[in-house]
Structure 1
Amino acid sequence: MSGNPGNLRQAARAKHEAALLRAEKGLKAVLRAQTPITFEGVAAAAGVSKDFLYRTPDLRARITMLREQQTPAAIAAAGRNAGLEGIDTSSIIRTLTAKLASERAQHRQELAELNQALAAAHGQILSLRRHLPNA
């Protein structure tokens, strides 16, 4: 057998331990932020995969327990706090509507120019076909 399986095992163990530490930090970050505890949220905060969290029994049990301890009112409050506080949504809507109208006008203009170019190309093709000897 070639290679060094002991080094491979040691590297795999170190990688697993590093992922466990990141998962713990991610879980603490989600708890500190008081956001709903989900596997997806913890995975994103920790930089690990959801699969890793599900396959690690201790982490899976802790996340499940903490998620079940959350009250529906706390989850709803966290969702409201994550909204657009302090932002005038009507001005955002006006800005986006104006930008959309501008882009639509630009696309209509480009489409008209392309249609004119296509008509000219068809005319040139027809003219060239008329000048070809019949084969």
Structure 2
Amino acid sequence: MREEPDAPYEDVEAVRWGLSRFNQRHAGDDSFTPVTLLLRDADGAVVGGLIGGTYWSWLYVEILWLDDAVRRQGWGSRLLARAEAIAAERNCAAVHLDTTSFQARGFYERNGYHVWGVLDDLPPGHQRFFMAKKLGVGR
């Protein structure tokens, strides 16, 4: 065993696929399908977006980011609502994500999410909140 910070992509994927095969034996195919929503300005530059995916009847929001120039204009709620609509189309029952105390907990709560877990000092001096929301569809 050794640390390989610059491991080839194929080797990293071998570990991911190994875990995926193990999970499938115990919980069935996760059928992971990406969700990628991009917000672009008039010149086509990316100024925000949501990155995540659906699996095992859940949507996972990995990243929701907006450039300062487009914050407080409703784009975050629209991105989140579109991702939730995609998840509902894919028969997902719920959404999960995490955020930190200096990020967007209040935003997610205003959009119907609740905190189900907290890690203190991640990052140091802050908290990481694990949040979820039922969609009312799916299994």
Same fold flag (TM > 0.5): no
Q: Which structure shows the bigger proportion of residues in strand conformation?
A: 2
Q: TM-score, normalised by structure 1?
A: 0.27
TM-score for the superposition, normalised by structure 2: 0.27
Question: Which of the two has greater helix per residue?
Answer: 1
Specify the structure having the higher radius of gyration (Cα).
1
